[in-house]
Amino acid sequence: MTLWICLGTGFTVNAAQREDTKLLKIYDGKSIEASQIQFKAEVATPDSNRIDIYRSEKPVSQGGKLEKLDSFRVIGDFWEVLGDNLYMNYGDNFKVQCYSHDTCVEGNLTFVDTTAKAGHQYSYRLVYGDMVYDPDSGEYSVEIVSNIIDVKANLQTPELYKCYSTDNKTVNLSWSYIAQADGYRVYRYDNGKWSFLKNVKKRNVITTTDKNVQAGKTYQYRVLERV
């Protein structure tokens, strides 16, 4: 005889999960800025009050774990009117934007993750926030999920808008600020090749000085995001 003893005040049984692209489908993922990833979605009228957006910090195929990034009520309370039949609303965590042709999260939608980091690749999935009816068990115990897509946030090249010398001994550089960048890498072209010059480790520092120059020589510079 086998005796099972359960301790504690309760237990949780994981619901069955079913991928159903007729109800939830995401596609056309792309980087629209270094810190933003956009993907489109088809959301059928859900038997759920919420749509959740899950993201992994690296692709699921490479061992990434999907975690909830943001969540939308199907009927939003505060939609911004962008034009004829176009509305925008933020998720509860203000990390994802939803663009819709109606003031609800269903139909043909566009989602924008505003918290991506340049150079990083992510996986995304949509999930109904509530369980749907399972005819096999006769209970609301099935979790409907979409397909998974992988998207990489492209690096963005800052605009180098000042490059000058006032004393023929140093060159001062200034460039445009890039949100979500981890910093910047500065390169110099000299003697027929590009070489690394400096690592700027803060995104809000957008100036530097090249102190290793020679009077009368011409140099070229470029700045890239640091990841």
pLDDT digits (tens, 9 = 90+) for 138-150: 777 889 999 999 9
Residue 27 within a domain: yes
Which of 122, 152, 182 is a domain's end point?
A: 152
User: Could you tell me the CATH number of the domain that includes residue 112?
Assistant: 2.60.40.10
The per-residue pLDDT for 119 is: 80
Q: Which residue has the higher pLDDT, 117 or 38?
A: 38
The verdict on 102 and 210 lying in the same domain is no
Question: Which of 8-17, 58-67, 214-223 has maximum average pLDDT?
Answer: 58-67
Q: Is the pLDDT of residue 2 over 50?
A: no
The verdict on 23 and 130 lying in the same domain is yes
Per-residue pLDDT band at 84 (split at 50, 70, 90):
confident
The verdict on 44 and 115 lying in the same domain is yes
What domain count does the chain have? 2
Question: Which of 45-49, 82-86, 106-110 has maximum average pLDDT?
Answer: 106-110
The per-residue pLDDT for 134 is: 73
Q: Which residue has the higher pLDDT, 42 or 169?
A: 42
The per-residue pLDDT for 142 is: 87
The per-residue pLDDT for 7 is: 41
The verdict on 103 and 179 lying in the same domain is no
Q: Which of 7-11, 18-22, 107-111, 133-137 has the lowest mean pLDDT?
A: 7-11
Domain span at residue 141 reads: 16-152
Which of 98, 117, 152 is a domain's end point?
A: 152
Q: What secondary structure does DSSP assign to the chain, as a single string?
A: -------SS----PPEEEE-TTTEEEEEEEEEETTEEEEEEEE---SSSEEEEEEESS-GGGT---EEEEEEESB-S-PEEEETTEEEEE-TTSSEEEEESSSBS-EEEEEEETT--TT-EEEEEEEESS-EEETTTTEEEEEEE---EEEE-------EEEEE-SSSS-EEEEE---TT---EEEEEEETTEEEEEEEE--TT--EEEE----TT---EEEEEE--
The verdict on 128 and 182 lying in the same domain is no
Per-residue pLDDT band at 118 (split at 50, 70, 90):
confident
